[in-house]
């Protein structure tokens, strides 16, 4: 049986407002003097890492190389190595991703305005590097 549908990862990428993301990149000169591995590619790699639960650069590179024949089609055209990915992370400003997170919060707020849940999108949002924290579901039900 041949799979003719679209990959789940591609479906995630369709949800991203790339014009707004590029506005954030341009505001902080994220792609200035860059010859490869643009911010869009880095963001795609990080989306992949998040939805697949990768916990290290080595894991990210290993998993993406396993599906290397699909990478071009999802917009990842640069050479993937652990050192290349680490260098790219060090050269990009965190403000790009902070600004885009603010865009996503503004988009999500109206969607949950009438939701009776306790989701408070207007409150403080914190990003934690969860690679060093093991959470127990019985202690933290959220």
Give per-residue pLDDT as tens, 4-62. Answer: 667 777 888 888 899 999 999 999 999 998 888 899 999 999 988 888 888 889 999 99
Residue 76 lies inside a defined structural domain of this protein: yes
Q: Which domain holds residue 67?
A: 8-132
CB atoms within 10 A of CB 100: 20
pLDDT over 60 (residue 130): no
Residue 139 lies inside a defined structural domain of this protein: no
Output the CA–CA distances (angstroms, integers) from residue 63 to 20, 70, 114, in the order listed.
28, 12, 40
- pLDDT band (50, 70, 90) for residue 135: low
Query: 28, 37, 31: which is closest to 82 by C-alpha?
Result: 37
Q: How many domains does one find in the chain? A: 1
pLDDT in tens, 90-109: 889 999 999 999 998 888 88
Residue 142 lies inside a defined structural domain of this protein: no
Residue 15 lies inside a defined structural domain of this protein: yes
């Amino acid at each position: 049986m041949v799979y003719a549908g679209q990959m789940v990862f591609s479906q995630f990428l369709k949800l991203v407002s790339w014009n707004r993301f590029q506005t954030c990149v341009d505001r902080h000169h994220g792609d200035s003097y860059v010859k490869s591995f643009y911010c869009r590619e880095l963001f795609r790699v990080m989306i992949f890492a998040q939805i697949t639960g990768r916990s290290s650069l080595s894991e990210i590179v290993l998993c993406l190389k396993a599906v290397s024949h699909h990478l071009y089609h999802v917009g990842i055209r640069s050479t993937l190595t652990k050192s290349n990915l680490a260098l790219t992370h060090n050269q990009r400003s965190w403000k790009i991703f902070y600004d885009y997170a603010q865009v996503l919060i503004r988009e999500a707020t109206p969607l949950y305005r009438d939701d009776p849940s306790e989701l408070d999108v207007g409150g403080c949002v914190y990003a934690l590097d969860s690679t060093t924290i093991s959470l127990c579901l019985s202690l933290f039900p959220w």
